[in-house]
Amino acid sequence: GIQVEQSPPDLILQEGANSTLRCNFSDSVNNLQWFHQNPWGQLINLFYIPSGTKQNGRLSATTVATERYSLLYISSSQTTDSGVYFCAVFSGGSNYKLTFGKGTLLTVNP
């Protein structure tokens, strides 16, 4: 099956810093999503982005499907950005299902 790799596995920032999280995938995909898991365990949809660039406030994402990677940018980080960020891809043609990477644990210190 498809492999989804995220980097870095851990990231520690000072409040106000910018960061880039990367997601590589091993095969073509129907779609790609970024999630934020908050300290209570809830998965929050950030972006669904099969290709191109999207922005939502301080967050933006870019997927280059032909090169099989996606990037999540966080600017002017805040302590509330802390948590685990997951990339997940839909693949498998008509039998598509969602495969997750192992996540990036982001800690933003005040």
Partner 1 sequence: DADVTQTPRNRITKTGKRIMLECSQTKGHDRMYWYRQDPGLGLRLIYYSFDVKDINKGEISDGYSVSRQAQAKFSLSLESAIPNQTALYFCATSDNSPVTEAFFGQGTRLTVV
CA distance 20 to 97: 26
- Phi/psi for 89 (5° steps) reads -125, 140
Q: Could you say whether residue 86 binds partner 1 (CB under 8 A)?
A: yes
We find the least distance from the C-beta atom of residue 68 to partner 1, in angstroms, to be 17
Six-digit token string for 70: 């996606």
Q: Which residue, 73 or 100, is less far from partner 1 as judged by CB?
A: 100
Check residue 39 for interaction with partner 1 (CB under 8 A).
no
CA distances (Å), 13 to each of 18, 38, 102, 109, in order? 8, 17, 20, 6
**Sign of the alpha-carbon torsion through 95, 52, 59, 20:** positive
Q: Of 50, 59, 65, 73, which lies in the binding site for partner 1, with binding defined by CB under 8 A? A: 50
Smaller CB separation from partner 1, 41 or 110 = 41
Rank residues 55 and 78 by Cβ distance to partner 1 and give the closer one.
55
Residues at the site binding partner 1, with contacts judged by CB under 8 A: 1, 30-31, 33, 35, 41-43, 45, 48, 50, 86, 88, 90, 94-103
